[in-house]
Amino acid sequence: MSVTAPAARSGGSPSIRRSSVPPIYTLAGTCVLVALLTMAPWIVPAEAATTLMNFFILVIMATMWNLLAGYAGMVSIGQQAFIGLGAYATLYFALKGVNPFLTIPISTLVCAVIAVPVTFLLFRLRGGYFAIATWVVSDTALLIIGAIPFLGGGTGKLMPGLQSLSPTQTAHDSYLATWIVALVVVTGTYLLLRSRLGLVLASIRDNEVAARSAGVNVQSARRMIFVIAAAGCGAAGAVLAISQPFVQPSSVFNIQWAAEMLFVSMIGGLGTIEGPIIGSIIYFVLQQRLQQYGVWYLIIFGSLAVVVALWQPRGLWGAFRDRYHSELLPVGYWIREPK
Amino acid sequence: MSEVLLDVAGLSVHHGQLCAVDDVSFSLRRGEILAMIGANGAGKSTLLRTIAGLHKPSSGTVSFDGEDIATLSPNRRVRLGISLVPEGRRLFSSMTLEENLQVGAYRANEGPFNIPRIYELFDWMGGRRKQSVWQLSGGEQQAVAIGRALVANPQVLLLDELSLGLAPIVIERIYALVPEIVAQGVSILIVEQDVAQGVAVADRVHCLLEGRTSLVGAPGDLTPEEIDRAYFGANMSSATPSDGTNE
Amino acid sequence: MIWLNVVIQGVLIGGFYALFACGLSLMFGVLKVINLAHGDMAVVAGYVAVFLTPHLHIPEVWSFLVVVPIFGLLGYVVQRTLIQKSIDRDPFTTLLVTFGLSVVIENLLLEIYTANGQTVNVGTLITRSWHPTSNVYVSYVSLGVLGVAVAVLGILQLFLSRTGTGRLIRAVADDREAAQLSGANYRHIFGIAAAIAFATVALAGIAYGMTTQFAPTSGGVNLLFAFEAVVIGGIGSLWGTLIGGVALGVAQQFGAHFNPEYQILAGNVLFLVVLAIRPQGLFGRKTALS
């Protein structure tokens, strides 16, 4: 048996890159966008700023849900537990006299701490049973909080500490707080997925048994992601409580948040950073357009999510990425063969 | 009634990127016992499962009685006359012995085998039919698995690794039944890691190595050295290492 | 004697929970699918009974005779189309699809019928009850529902253990591939299991409508109860689901006795405690656990 040498190649060995788009473009584009969004309250009308703010809140939640489901493989329909807990933690500290804006990091931490023992209960179940159990946890949190008169009970309470400023100032501050949290969450997730933990997650997602035998502590990784996602949702809840200053259990613990997170991530593209953002954009556009028709936008969006799940499970961004082989916020690696 | 019952031509099966079966061809004649031997991971089980309809081949054909069965689902193939006794027995653990047989007999083909006949073939079963199968020993479970497949009255019986996890004396007793089954008009394709058993019971032997055919022939025509080499890919019985290269 | 009434009320509602839950349990046992729209199917059945069967000149109390078979057929069709397609992808997809369907159904009902509460009209029967002692009230309708629940569970258990199709269903639940190799068309069996699940939950939905007001979002809260009943009783056991339902019902009634606000919470707490101490439930096998 003889071995023939391959035809002479120019170039050399294959290279491994993060992105197919030169990073300088992405970085430049991002900087411009960040600058624009930071100045938004001063350049766009107040209504648009409020819409943007709600958009950011959705992006935070969807990014966290995507982290749980798309990267760690845990489908949760109970993240609203931590949205609610984050909102009520903020309310609690505000009632005790702390500036609501300063409570945001505290609320985030509170949610992270609560999430840890919750994982010990929840991780006894898998798949659909895990999903419904997260809902039970959320329901329980709602009922417990709703029974505490100090926090307003079932009827709710107005967030204190915001009345001293003028309405425009409050609106500006709320916007900035929400924008900063969104930026931190998305950037943080991006960096997380590019880190070693991100690689660990990808290995668990692709083949859990192989990952385990390569020494990966699957349970720890999952636990960490669940806690991070809880913290992120807690932060979303905190800014939500500040932006809609009347805090009510039925609104912050509403399963509607779960539906929105899920649909947005599915349609945008599970397992990508850009997906939740794109999904949120579509969601908001649809909502604005169909506002006058009641809940039809939700029906359409939900049906779209079902269709996407069955026929294009990688979502819109996933399809784009597969077709054009480019990413804006790459978290994986591309191997480029020399020509 | 043609002579060739099962015909496999140029069959290749992939598990993702791994090629488990690579361009394998053989045929099973009526009333014949064909033994498929090979080491662990040689592709034998994948081959049987593909014939039974659980895997889709990437290329090649499987024909039964002259007709291509590529589009048929596993349960349709059972109706046609191909029954697989899967590796590891795979009995229905929440059910009794009798219930396991009854599942196999549900809408079975016409033929010599029914549940009372199975109780004759395995005389110990009748008294223990109401026992849950997880209470049975490995050999007993293997017998029930064979019974469950027989009760559908197949023309081709596929046996996957009968001897796995069983004591030698139990293996012998099970293999003693094989000629009886053939006598009822069933052709058998048996997959075995245990070369001695496979060679002893078969009319013809087909050896697989890493998914490819390495040796074909009747047991009487093959020497132990040839079988060794085909099985392992090297001559293990020879003392000098330089003999180990294969073509 | 108050406690006796609490227990009796718990048992009465427990039977209803079990009827609601047995479809969920069956779908998971056989198809390995959690149908997050399970509760909403019950509510849809309620709406069909209240708004659509009158067009057939059938009194609402007998509507189940028509609605239950229709839902059985619907279950078979939905399984052979949507659900099978989801299963073919991965378990993930079934969760997402059924959750999506749940939200779509609830909001469609909201748009069409508004958020007003509805009930299934059973005439004067709703007011009649049995008073063995001064503290114990047994509503005839609730007792009827318990009777129906036990009867349905009993028939289902007989069907699974004695008939050929029932055996096939159990076989597919045990080992789908081995069942295929024994000649079972597993997609058809899945369809039958789904049909049974939809039919029983439709019956449960109509029963619910007879005793309580229902609204578009009622499906969600009942799904939660059904799920809790299954986990408490043990995944994989029909009679376990009945015991689980009763345990849940009794726990809820105890909670309600102290403070009406604690009713659902008491059930949730029992669920979480069982999850912490004995995750496979009272009668369950360890199959749904990690």
Give C166's Cβ-side CA count (13 Å radius): 11
Reported confidence tier of residue A337, pLDDT bands at 50, 70, 90: low
Reported confidence tier of residue B1, pLDDT bands at 50, 70, 90: low
Question: What whole-number distance in Å separates Cα of residue C41 and Cα of residue C214?
Answer: 12
Compute the average pLDDT of residues B91-105.
94
Q: Which residue has the higher pLDDT, C58 or C108?
A: C108
Reported confidence tier of residue A109, pLDDT bands at 50, 70, 90: very high
Chain C residue numbers with beta carbons less than 8 Å from the beta carbon of A123 are: 290
Answer whether C180 sits within 8 Å of B54, measured CB to CB: yes
Reported confidence tier of residue C289, pLDDT bands at 50, 70, 90: very low
Res. C180: pLDDT tops 70: yes
- Poorest-pLDDT segment among A223-237, C116-130, C136-150: C116-130
Answer whether B86 sits within 8 Å of C173, measured CB to CB: no
Q: Which residue has the higher pLDDT, A62 or A298?
A: A62
Report if pTM > 0.95.
Answer: no
Q: Which residue has the higher pLDDT, C61 or C146?
A: C146
Reported confidence tier of residue B245, pLDDT bands at 50, 70, 90: very low
- Chain A adjacent subunits, 3+ CB pairs under 8 A: C
**C229-242 as b/e, with b when 16 or more CB fall inside 10 Å?**
bbbbbbbbbbebbb
- Predicted confidence at residue C116, as pLDDT, reads 83
Out of A108-117, A188-197, C272-281, give the one with best mean pLDDT: A108-117
Res. A48: pLDDT tops 90: no
Compute the average pLDDT of residues A238-256.
88
- Please report the sign of the dihedral spanned by the C-alpha atoms of residue C189, residue C194, residue C200, residue C202: negative
Answer whether C181 sits within 8 Å of B149, measured CB to CB: yes
- Predicted confidence at residue B18, as pLDDT, reads 87
- Predicted confidence at residue B247, as pLDDT, reads 39
The CATH number of the structural domain formed by C2-277 is 1.10.3470
Reported confidence tier of residue A12, pLDDT bands at 50, 70, 90: low
Q: Cβ contacts of residue A285 below 8 Å, gap of 6+? A: none
- For testing contact with chain B, the best of C177, C181, C185 (most B CBs within 10 A): C181
Compute the average pLDDT of residues A99-123.
92
Answer whether C108 sits within 8 Å of A299, measured CB to CB: yes
Question: C183 near B80, Cβ under 8 Å?
Answer: no
Supply A211's token pair. 């990952």
Q: Where along chain C do its domains lie?
A: 2-277
- Predicted confidence at residue C147, as pLDDT, reads 92
- Predicted confidence at residue B200, as pLDDT, reads 87
Res. C6: pLDDT tops 60: yes
How many percent of chain B have pLDDT more than 70? 94
Compute the average pLDDT of residues C1-7.
81
DSSP B133: G
How many percent of chain C have pLDDT more than 70? 96
Residue C224 near chain A (CB below 8 Å)? yes
Res. B244: pLDDT tops 50: no
Res. A190: pLDDT tops 80: yes
Mean pLDDT of chain A: 84
Reported confidence tier of residue C290, pLDDT bands at 50, 70, 90: very low
Res. B243: pLDDT tops 80: no
* Long-range Cβ contact pairs of C159-168 (< 8 A, separation 24 or more): C160/C238, C164/B102, C164/B106, C165/C189, C165/C192, C167/B95, C167/B99, C167/B102, C167/B103, C167/B106, C168/B103, C168/B106
Chain C residue numbers with beta carbons less than 8 Å from the beta carbon of A77 are: 36, 99
- For testing contact with chain A, the best of C92, C94, C224, C264 (most A CBs within 10 A): C92
User: Using CB atoms, which residue from A135, A147, A263 is nearest to C224?
Assistant: A135
Helices (H), B158-246: 168-183, 195-201, 224-232
- Predicted confidence at residue A229, as pLDDT, reads 96
pLDDT in tens, B105-114: 988 888 899 9
Task: State the pairing for strand pair B67-68/A157-158.
Answer: unpaired
Question: What whole-number distance in Å separates Cα of residue A180 and Cα of residue A160?
Answer: 22
Q: What is the ipTM of this complex?
A: 0.87
Res. C102: pLDDT tops 80: yes
Q: Count of CB atoms within 10 A of residue A80's CB? A: 31
Reported confidence tier of residue B214, pLDDT bands at 50, 70, 90: confident
Amino acid A228 reads I
Instruction: Report the chain C residue with the minimal C-alpha distance to residue B149.
Output: C182
- Predicted confidence at residue C181, as pLDDT, reads 95
Chain C residue numbers with beta carbons less than 8 Å from the beta carbon of A259 are: 99, 103
- Predicted confidence at residue A198, as pLDDT, reads 85
pLDDT in tens, B4-60: 899 999 999 998 888 889 999 999 999 999 999 888 777 888 999 999 999 999 999
DSSP B170: H
- Predicted confidence at residue A19, as pLDDT, reads 66
pLDDT in tens, A312-326: 877 777 777 777 766
Answer whether A121 sits within 8 Å of C275, measured CB to CB: yes
Instruction: Give the number of residues written for chain A.
Output: 339
pLDDT in tens, B107-151: 888 889 999 999 998 888 989 999 999 899 988 999 999 999 999
What are the E-state strand segments in B180-224? 187-192, 204-209, 212-217
- Predicted confidence at residue A327, as pLDDT, reads 67
- Predicted confidence at residue C169, as pLDDT, reads 95
* Order of strands across the sheet that contains B18-29: B18-29, B4-15, B59-64, B67-68
- Read off φ and ψ for residue C166, nearest 5 degrees: -60, -40
Reported confidence tier of residue B204, pLDDT bands at 50, 70, 90: very high
Answer whether A131 sits within 8 Å of C95, measured CB to CB: yes
Mean pLDDT of chain B: 87
Compute the average pLDDT of residues C204-233.
90
* CATH domain B4-244 topology: Rossmann fold (3.40.50)
Reported confidence tier of residue A2, pLDDT bands at 50, 70, 90: very low
- Predicted confidence at residue A239, as pLDDT, reads 93
Res. C17: pLDDT tops 90: yes
The C-alpha torsion from A53 through A54 and A60 to A65, rounded to 10°, is -170
Compute the average pLDDT of residues A185-190.
92
